[in-house]
Amino acid sequence: MSYELSGKIKLIQEPQTFNSGFTKREMVVIVEDGKYPQEINLEFVQDKVSLLDSLQPGQEVKVNFDIRGREYNGRYFNNLQGWRVEVLGGAAAAPSAPAGFGGEEPPPYSDDDIPF
């Protein structure tokens, strides 16, 4: 099941790679929640780590994430695992290039290019 939140980036951690080859990177987003803003930690793993490369603290973003839970030694843990980030008022941060442009940005269009 997918969830989403919007807020301002507080910080972005450096990527961490473990001996197993597993890589993760964490980001904290401040979400306004009435009188007490919430600082929400989200993790991005493996190929999703690169979604954070073009982001900066202070940017307003919308993050799509899944909730992951597990048991370890009789204790239970939850993680918010991000899989999409959209800069509000801007383009989405994506790991791949737009289809059909071979890694280049699509050409800009003017009002004269619109067919209606």
Domain ranges of the chain: 2-95
| Structure confidence by residue, pLDDT tens digits, 72-103 | 999 999 999 999 999 997 554 544 434 444 44
The per-residue pLDDT for 55 is 96
For residue 38, the model assigns a pLDDT of 96
Give 7's contacts (C-beta < 8 A, 6+ positions apart): 29, 30, 31, 32, 40, 60, 61
DSSP SS3 for 7: strand
pLDDT for res 33: 87
Fold classification of 2-95 (topology level):
OB fold (Dihydrolipoamide Acetyltransferase, E2P) (2.40.50)
Give residue 27's pLDDT: 98
Beta strand segments in the chain, E? 2-12, 16-17, 23-31, 38-45, 60-72, 75-87, 92-93
Q: Is a pLDDT exceeding 90 seen at residue 34?
A: no
Among 40, 37, 20, 18, smallest CA distance to 29 is for: 40
d(CA 29, CA 58): 9
